[in-house]
Amino acid sequence: MEMAVQDFHHLTCSIHLVLRFKDSQGSSARAASSVLELIGSEEVEAIIGTITSPEATLISEIEKTTRDMPIISLTSSPSILPTYRLPFFLQMANDIKVNIQCIAAIVNYFQGRKVTAIYQDNNDFITGTVITLLSDSLRVVGSEIDHHLCFPPQSSVSEHNGAIEQELRKLRSNSSRVFILVLYTVRYLDFREG
């Protein structure tokens, strides 16, 4: 993003963009809180980030000034909730349904009939929806989710590292040889042991 801003500054001299970065660490509450904090302390003209439609809706309900503020989302969360109340919400990433159908097509090409879905339990609507979309797309190509490996929320990862490693080791004895990592946070990308 910083390089894009530098390019923009080289092309135009009249407008100066300043980026303010906040890390939500995969938490919807932190994402909303960070946006509200920035709006309260800075002169914000637009929001760019991995903000989902439900998070943008929540932010606009709490802070009315964001209703006319461009929110550009780089996330590929499913477009489940109507965004008609957020006329300036723009989702830049591909529709996740298309991505999931591509995954199902790849599974079908390699004749994988049973797969293991690995995901993080965020206890949210999006996680359940993505798993349902995956299951439906696999069913269309004659495959199915044979095993669900659901890890605890990110906040409790440090407490369950041993349990996570144990679950990953169990996958070695699983009859399914196809593993689909569905939803994760950055901390989960560091499970080299499995």
Kindly report, as residue ranges, where domains of CATH 3.40.50.2300 are found in the chain. Answer: 96-190
CA nearest to 24, candidates 186, 189, 192: 186
Give CA–CA dist 63/173, Å, rounded. 51
Rounded to 5 degrees, φ, ψ at 178 are -110, 120
pLDDT one-digit tens code per residue, 125-179: 667 788 899 999 999 999 999 988 887 776 555 555 677 777 778 887 777 778 8
73: exposed, middle or buried (C-beta count within 10 Å: 0-12, 13-18, 19+)? Answer: buried
CATH hierarchy code of domain 96-190: 3.40.50.2300
Distance CA 154, CA 122 (A): 8
* pTM summary value: 0.52
- How do residues 33-75 score in pLDDT, each as one tens digit? 888 888 888 777 888 887 887 888 888 888 777 767 788 887 7
Lowest mean pLDDT among 49-58, 78-87, 96-105: 78-87
